[in-house]
Every structure is written in C-alpha cells, then in structure tokens.
Chain A
C-alpha cells in the first residue's frame, strides 16, 4: 500500500519534470517557429493576422530583401562572414601561442603575465569605447573593418581556455623530445602543438565566430558607409526605419538570414559547443 503510494508519487514527480522541460522547450522554440512561418508569408498575409502554417512566399521574400536598395543585405552577409571568420582565426592562433608561452617557458614575467591576463579578462570593451573610437579616428581606421578584426589577437578568455586545455592534454616531455630531435620552437608550435590543440581550437573558433557575428556595439560606432555594414547594423537600421511602411516579409527574412548561419553551425556541432561551455568554467 505504502509502496504503491510512493510509486504513484514518483510517477507524478516525473510527469511534472517532463512537463516543465517540454514547456521550456516550447518557449525557446516558439519565437523561431513564428519567425520561419512569417518569413515564408507575403507582407499582405502577415498583415492579415497570425497563422500557424507556412506560406509560399519564402523565395520572393528572399529575392526582395537581397535586392533591396536601401539595405545592402548581401554585402552585409559577406562583411559579417569575413570579419567573424578572420576574428576566429586570429583569436585562436594567437591566444594558443600566448598560452603556449606561459605553459612551456620559464621566464621572469611569466607569473605576472598570467595574473595580468586573468585580471583584464572581464573588462568589457564598452568602458573604453570612447578612447577606442577616438584613437581609431586618429589612426585613420574609422569606417574600416580592421578595428573589428585585429583586437581578436588579444583574447584573454580564449587564452585562459587554451591554457587549461594544455595543462591536461599537452605533456611537456613531448616538447622536450621534439627539441632533442632538433625542431625549432616555432615549428614545434605549428606542427606539433596546434594539431594536439585542435578540439579546443574548434570550440573557441566557434565561440569567437559567433561573438563577432553577433557583435553590434563597437561596429555601430566604427562603420559609416553602407557597403561596409554588418548584419546587426542593418537590423538596427531596419528597426529605426518607418516600421509601418516596411515590407514585413522582408523584415522577417532579414532576421532569418542573420541567425540561420549560426543555427546551422549549432545543429551540427551542438555536442561540442555544449561541452565547451561546461569546460570553460570548471576545471577539475
């Protein structure tokens, strides 16, 4: 009798757990569902009201937004890709190199370097944006993509992640052995260390790419000309346009285009990404 009661309680408990999980899943997915539905409907259909089913206007919306003269969408996609891609490459290569320096070599400033990078890790770029834009102006780098790409070379968070990964995956004896074989330090890094670091590099490349792809604050202060704008700037521009006059099919389509590359990456690599998030904070 008592056992039966407990069984029922446990089943009820399980039911509650799944109910909450399914609800949260629906809340997370519903906005994206509405986005996809609405990006496949014509402006007039969107205006008419809510619909749960897909329309047939997906391709016309795509064509319209791509050929919109006010919004250089295609250029925006290319710019975002170039900036995010180069940032990912620079951040992972040079932060791994920096971590390699701190991990492998013995020198006076080693401890200081480690402490210093950890201390500056959390400083948000907003707090020095003022100095940044005025300095870029003096250097003649205003309205250029370079100030959005080069700073990735110094990525403290990537550095910290790489160092943690090296501590558990890169035996110093291996480097010693390579030295005895006569390999130069630079060659050891490029041909031996980088391949070992591949899993960590992949995870951090994704995070840097996503962060740069989504970045809005600094690019909006640096970029002026239409053909240099990135996707977040175009979205902000759309938001400030006279909303009621706008083709809603195109609005939804632009949002769709801005998030779809990231979603595709995520669908294929979610396992590694989720593991990477967990690895970033906890070291056992």
Chain B
C-alpha cells in the first residue's frame, strides 16, 4: 500500500520539473548567460578607439581600477543618491501621513477611493512620456515660463540651472512613486490588529502617541521593504533624467545618473568599463535584494 503511494507521488513529481522547464530555460538563455558574460567581459580590455577595435585582452581588475578611480563615477553615484534621497524623504513622509489618514476611522475621509485612484495614476504613466511632458512644460519657451513672465517675473531657465534640473527630476520621481508607496503602507496599516489600537486608546494615548508607539513599529517590515525597493529603483534611475536632459545629464552633468553613464559606455561600445560598472551595480543591488528576501521570508515564517 505504502509503496504504491510512493510510486504515485514520484510519478507526479516529474510534472513538477516539467512545469519548471519554460521558466528556467528562458531564465538561463535571457538572464543567466547575459549575467555571467557581463561579469566575464568586465575582466577584458575591449573598446573602440576611433574606428580601431582595442582588445579584447584579459586585464584582470584593471577596468575596476579605471572606473572607480579615473572616471567621474563617484560624481554620478553622488548625483544618483542625492536625487533619490531628495525624492524619497518627502515621499515616505507624505505616504505615511496619507496612509494614516486614509485608514483612520475617526477621520472617515469622503471620496477616499477617488483620491487613491488619482495619486496612484502617475505610477502607470510612461516615465519617458512624463519626462518629455515636463521638458515641454518647463522649457524656456514652455507654458510654465509663459506664466512666470505674465506674472511679471524674469524668465527662468530650468534646463540650465542645476537646482531647476535636479529639482524637476526629484519632483517627477516623487509624483511617479508616492501613490504606490502610500498604497503599500496603507496595506500595512490596515493589517494592524484593531484591538492593539483600541488598547492604546483606552490607555489614553493620543493620535500622535498611537502612531509613534503602535503604528510605526507594527509596519516596520513594510517600511524596510519600501526603503530597499526604492533604493534599488533609485540605482536604476534612467528614463526620467535621460529623456529630460536628452542624455547629457544637465548642466555640467550634475543630473547624470549611474545607469545613464552605463548607457553611454554601451553605446560607445566601451565594453570593458561597461562590464566593470555593471558588476559594481550588480553587487550593490544583490546586497539590497538579500535584505528584501530576508524580509519576505520572515513574513513567510510568521
């Protein structure tokens, strides 16, 4: 009897592997091979000097030394971080505020689903189109400058000012993502057991104290998830600044991000440096991914 059952479960387990086949064969061909070959290319000198092809010659870690110490990489890393953090701080604060408001029974916000629908909408909009729209609206001859002039002020060139450039990229990132963050945090707040909140109120805790001592600690896993995924998204920042600055990175490349820099190397066929930069970014995202993974599996265990 037992052996029959065993035989049966073995014959089923074969199907488990069969159903994995499409996913893993595509993963191997379109992700794993590219990933491994990217790492491989990072150890070779391989670029175009004018029309002559240099390399490929094995150079060990030379590409890493070059990209880390002889290029403007630190500057672009700083730009990326600066633009990301400037968007992230208001995003997390406003999202927390909105999440608490939307879930508050005492406030009982009318039209809350309308508001949620509107604030999430930008997240689905094509970042390239959104960025082109902002460029058209804020260009020297665009409607925003027309309004500024008609109010009696001087024309302001957003494109040629460092603050204007970075500020608008920050604003776009904020608008694209704060609705998404609000919904994630809201889901976390709604998951808090009502009895805990009631107990806090009975103990005489005001709204602020309840938020600080009950709500915030309870949604810590969600906040970690939001922070890390936002950091990974920040490292990937490309479409918005690329389209907005036409790939030039704004005045004196102060809005040039890491992926824009990678993109430049890919287009100029500078494969060695592109490889080294890719591997550095891979390591950074892998470390961050591991935190997300731990976060997700902890929830699983609970």
A→B interface (CB under 8 Å): 14, 17-18, 20-21, 24-25, 27-29, 31, 34-35, 38, 47, 49-50, 94-95, 97-98, 100-102, 104-107, 109-110, 113, 118-135, 147, 150-151, 153-154, 159-160, 185, 189, 210, 213-214, 216-217, 221, 231-232, 235-236, 238-240, 243-244, 248, 251-252, 255, 258-259, 262-263, 266, 270-271, 273-274, 277-279, 281-284
When A31-B137, A124-B236, A274-B183 are in contact, do A132 and B263 touch as well, CB less than 8 Å? Answer: no
Tell me what chain A mostly uses at the interface: helix, strand, loop, or mixed. Answer: helix
When A128-B34, A283-B299 are in contact, do A123 and B175 touch as well, CB less than 8 Å? Answer: no
Cα distance, A120 to B35, chains bound together (Å)? 11
Cα distance, A221 to B268, chains bound together (Å)? 12
**Is the beta-carbon distance between B243 and A134 smaller than 8 angstroms?**
no
**Is the beta-carbon distance between A50 and B129 smaller than 8 angstroms?**
no
**Smallest Cβ-Cβ distance to B104: which chain A residue:** A17
Least Cβ–Cβ distance between B138 and chain A, in angstroms:
10
A279: chain B residues at CB < 8 Å are 187
B229: chain A residues at CB < 8 Å are 122
Give the A-B pair count, Cβ closer than 8 A.
287
**Smallest Cβ-Cβ distance to A49: which chain B residue:** B146
**Is the beta-carbon distance between B143 and A49 smaller than 8 angstroms?**
yes
Question: Among the listed B38, B188, B259, which residue makes an inter-chain contact with A131, where contact means beta carbons less than 8 Å apart?
Answer: B38
Cα distance, A262 to B236, chains bound together (Å)? 22
**Is the beta-carbon distance between A126 and B117 smaller than 8 angstroms?**
no
**Is the beta-carbon distance between A134 and B271 smaller than 8 angstroms?**
yes
**Is the beta-carbon distance between A129 and B127 smaller than 8 angstroms?**
no
B141: chain A residues at CB < 8 Å are 47, 244
Query: Any chain A CB within 8 A of the CB of B158?
Result: no
Least Cβ–Cβ distance between B233 and chain A, in angstroms:
9
A100: chain B residues at CB < 8 Å are 19
B→A interface (CB under 8 Å): 9, 12-13, 15-20, 22-24, 26-27, 30-31, 33-41, 94, 97-98, 101, 107, 109, 113, 115-122, 124-130, 132-137, 139, 141, 143-144, 146-147, 150, 175, 179-180, 183-184, 186-188, 191, 222, 225, 229, 232, 235-236, 238-239, 242-243, 246-247, 259, 262-263, 266-267, 271, 274-275, 278-279, 281-282, 285-286, 288-290, 292-293, 296-297, 299
Least Cβ–Cβ distance between A112 and chain B, in angstroms:
11
Cα distance, A62 to B104, chains bound together (Å)? 46
Cα distance, A128 to B9, chains bound together (Å)? 39
**Is the beta-carbon distance between B125 and A259 smaller than 8 angstroms?**
yes
A109: chain B residues at CB < 8 Å are 17
**Is the beta-carbon distance between A97 and B107 smaller than 8 angstroms?**
no
Least Cβ–Cβ distance between B30 and chain A, in angstroms:
4
Cα distance, A236 to B260, chains bound together (Å)? 14
Additional pairs, 18, CB under 8 Å, beyond known A24-B115, A124-B285: A31-B134, A34-B143, A50-B144, A98-B19, A113-B20, A118-B297, A121-B293, A122-B229, A124-B236, A126-B262, A127-B285, A129-B38, A135-B33, A216-B128, A217-B259, A239-B243, A270-B117, A274-B117
**Is the beta-carbon distance between A34 and B120 smaller than 8 angstroms?**
no
Most chain B beta carbons < 10 A, residue from A131, A154, A283: A131
**Is the beta-carbon distance between B119 and A217 smaller than 8 angstroms?**
no
Question: Among the listed A122, A124, A130, A210, which residue makes an inter-chain contact with B124, where contact means beta carbons less than 8 Å apart?
Answer: A210
**Is the beta-carbon distance between A101 and B20 smaller than 8 angstroms?**
yes
Q: Top 7 closest A-B pairs, CB basis?
A: A105-B16, A131-B34, A131-B38, A122-B289, A101-B19, A131-B37, A278-B187
Least Cβ–Cβ distance between A181 and chain B, in angstroms:
15
**Smallest Cβ-Cβ distance to B233: which chain A residue:** A124
B238: chain A residues at CB < 8 Å are 126, 216-217
Cα distance, A123 to B139, chains bound together (Å)? 35
**Is the beta-carbon distance between B191 and A119 smaller than 8 angstroms?**
no
**Smallest Cβ-Cβ distance to B174: which chain A residue:** A27
**Is the beta-carbon distance between B132 and A127 smaller than 8 angstroms?**
no
* Sampled A-B contacts (12; CB under 8 Å): A24-B119, A101-B15, A101-B19, A110-B16, A123-B31, A127-B278, A128-B278, A154-B31, A189-B19, A216-B128, A221-B263, A251-B136
